[in-house]
């Protein structure tokens, strides 16, 4: 690529916004550069499933809000992000066919617009965001920019791939069991899952549930600025995370005081992880110690208590997705309306009683309190692999629900517990294996302490920069 498309391909959102603010480029020119990259790069990667380029051109040509990302091209995930006048398929072929337009923006999408972002389309996601790979029958597989034969992870796989490939500098993502952090780890980008109640789920979602939204990005400063721009309660929110002591971008400059960090190198159930993932977490531990922190093998013992009740609560938002699909079709659902694995989960969900769900919620409440207790006993952070194995080859997840569940367990073992506890966690791209695939490491902070994660992630980024490392897919 040549011209502005090439010049801005690896430029982060903060730098792109400065180009617009200084008058060096216009928002329209910046958008056209992103459109060119999507047209050149996406046929191989398949990250962008809906292109709203004409509408985006009209937005970019009008006066934009004076937000921190004024004029920066942006993509929404095809799930959990209602955008007025635009469809959302949730990765489902029936909803793709219906192409129903959302009546209004979600609270978060409205805040994205207020930040000055120019929304140009949607990124791929597995059906109903239900798998840690992005290979929906409705849109086809999204391929990892670092190796096109491998998965991007999921469910924000399209978003992570678009950012990793340099199509856009930052993209919307959501996380119900690891769906920001897993694709961030697989694609070599930064993915922060905020605390429960940090980002409003209004007016359609429930911020009390396990899912939360933000973005994937190339740099810590972009994620910090995004969190500043879009966090805070919305009308009717019942769960509200404590306000930060200062803007998150102010955490970027100074190294944090020495922290006490626990290290978990096996899954909470005690299973060994892939050697690449173990190597990554110990390399991160060594770097943290070089930076003055104290790392010791320790973790919340209660993490081992995670069981199928946590899985039931973590996957419960799918029930709303199924209801929305049935309402859209105006009839009862059939196996032909969704993929085989999704249908199997739909059938299993219908067999869960209200009493069983209430018992699961109670179990999760106890789990949350026991896990969070560890952070009150002298520890500041927990360091883990983000996933227990590297990105899988495309096609590894088939139609056998038992095989899919077994594979899924290896990707969500370190991420899902913190959707249940509501704590913030970030996947940091510090390691690549011998095959050239990114391997992420996860840092988890106490509830409401995104400031600590941003400060430490920024310190790691200064010590071992990753933004200049770019993929050359084969």
Q: Provide the CATH number for the domain around residue 110.
A: 3.90.1300.10
Q: Which pLDDT belongs to residue 374?
A: 98
Measure CA 327 to chain center. 28
| pLDDT, mean of residues 81-106 | 97
Residue 23: inside a domain, yes or no? yes
How many angstroms separate the CA atoms of 227 and 31, rounded? 23
Closest CA to 12 of 171, 157, 125, 154: 171
333 and 322 Cβ atoms separated by less than 8 Å: yes
Which is the catalytic residue, given 174, 177, 179, 316? 179
Q: Which of 89, 106, 151, 155 is catalytic?
A: 155
pLDDT of residue 208: 86
Question: At residue 473, does pLDDT exceed 70?
Answer: no
Among this protein's residues, is 323 annotated catalytic?
Answer: no
- Domain membership of residue 474 (yes or no) is no
Residue 89 appears among annotated catalytic residues? no
CA distance 114 to 27: 15
Range from 49-63, 202-216, 432-446 carrying the lowest mean pLDDT: 202-216
Which listed residue (77, 174, 193, 217) is catalytic?
77
Q: Please indicate, yes or no, if residue 67 is contained in any of the structural domains.
A: yes
Say which residue the tokens 């597995």 belong to. 126
The mean pLDDT of 236-265, rounded to a whole number, is: 96
Query: Which structural domain range is residue 395 located in?
Result: 3-463
**Least confidently predicted of 261-270, 287-296, 349-358:** 349-358
Does some domain include residue 468?
A: no
Assigned domain for 129 exists: yes
Measuring CA to CA, which residue among 258, 263, 267, 256 is closest to residue 295?
263
For residues 320 and 100, give the distance between their C-alpha atoms in angstroms, rounded to a whole number. 16
Does a structural domain hold residue 382? yes
Q: Which residues of 272-286 are buried (b: 16+ CB within 10 A; e: fewer)?
A: ebbebbbbbbbebbe
How far CA 362 is from CA of 357, 358, 374, in Å, comes to: 9, 6, 20
473 located within any domain:
no
Does residue 182 surpass a pLDDT of 70?
yes
Spell out the residues 6+ positions from residue 311 whose beta carbon is closer than 8 angstroms to its own. 416
Apex CA 434: angle with CA 428 and CA 439, to 5°? 20
Asked if residue 342 belongs to a domain, the reply is: yes
**pLDDT tens-digit series, residues 434-472:** 999 999 999 999 999 999 999 999 999 999 999 999 998
Q: How many CB atoms lie within 10 A of CB 319?
A: 15
- β-partners of residue 172 are 215
Instruction: Please give the mean pLDDT across all residues of the chain.
Output: 96
Is the predicted pLDDT of residue 474 greater than 50, yes or no? Answer: no
Split into its structural domains, the chain has a count of 1
């Amino acid at each position: 690529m040549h011209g502005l498309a090439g010049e801005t391909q690896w430029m982060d959102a903060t730098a792109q916004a400065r180009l617009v603010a200084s008058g060096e480029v216009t928002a329209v020119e910046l958008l056209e550069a992103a459109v060119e990259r999507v047209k050149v790069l996406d046929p191989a990667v398949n990250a962008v499933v809906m292109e709203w380029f004409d509408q985006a051109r009209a937005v970019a040509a009008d006066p934009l809000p004076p937000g921190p990302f004024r004029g920066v091209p942006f993509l929404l995930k095809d799930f959990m992000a209602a955008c007025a006048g635009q469809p959302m398929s949730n990765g489902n072929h029936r909803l793709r066919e219906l192409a129903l337009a959302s009546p209004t923006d979600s609270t978060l999408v409205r805040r994205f617009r207020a930040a000055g972002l120019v929304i140009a389309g949607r990124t791929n996601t597995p059906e109903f965001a239900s798998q840690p790979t992005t290979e929906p029958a409705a849109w086809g597989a999204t391929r990892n920019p670092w190796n096109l034969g491998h998965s991007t992870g999921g469910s924000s796989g399209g978003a992570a791939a678009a950012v990793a490939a340099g199509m856009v500098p930052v993209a919307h993502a959501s996380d119900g069991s690891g769906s920001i952090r897993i694709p961030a780890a697989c694609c070599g980008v930064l993915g922060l899952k905020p605390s429960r109640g940090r980002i409003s789920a209004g007016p359609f979602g429930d911020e009390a549930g396990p899912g939360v939204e933000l973005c994937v990005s190339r740099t810590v400063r972009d994620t910090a600025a995004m969190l500043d721009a879009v966090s805070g309660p919305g009308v009717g929110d019942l769960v509200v995370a404590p306000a930060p002591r200062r803007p998150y971008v102010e955490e970027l400059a100074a190294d944090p005081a020495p922290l006490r960090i626990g290290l978990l190198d096996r899954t909470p159930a005690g299973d060994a992880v892939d050697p690449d993932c173990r190597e990554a977490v110990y390399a991160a531990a060594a770097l943290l110690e070089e930076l003055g922190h104290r790392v010791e093998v320790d973790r919340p013992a209660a993490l081992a208590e995670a069981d199928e009740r946590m899985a039931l609560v973590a996957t419960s938002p799918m029930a709303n997705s199924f209801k929305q699909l049935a309402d859209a079709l105006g009839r009862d659902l059939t196996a032909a309306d969704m993929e085989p694995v999704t249908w199997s989960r739909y059938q299993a969900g219908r067999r869960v009683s209200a009493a069983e769900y209430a018992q699961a919620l109670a179990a999760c409440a106890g789990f949350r309190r026991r896990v969070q207790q560890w952070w009150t006993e002298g520890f500041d952070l927990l360091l883990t692999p983000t996933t227990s194995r590297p990105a899988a080859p495309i096609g590894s997840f088939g139609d056998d629900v038992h095989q899919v569940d077994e594979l899924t367990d290896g990707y969500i073992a370190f991420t899902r517990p913190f959707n249940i506890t509501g704590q913030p966690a970030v996947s940091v791209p510090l390691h690549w294996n011998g095959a050239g695939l990114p391997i992420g490491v996860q840092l988890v902070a106490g509830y409401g302490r995104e400031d600590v994660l941003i400060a430490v992630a920024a310190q790691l980024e200064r010590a071992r920069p990753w933004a200049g490392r770019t993929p050359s897919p084969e």
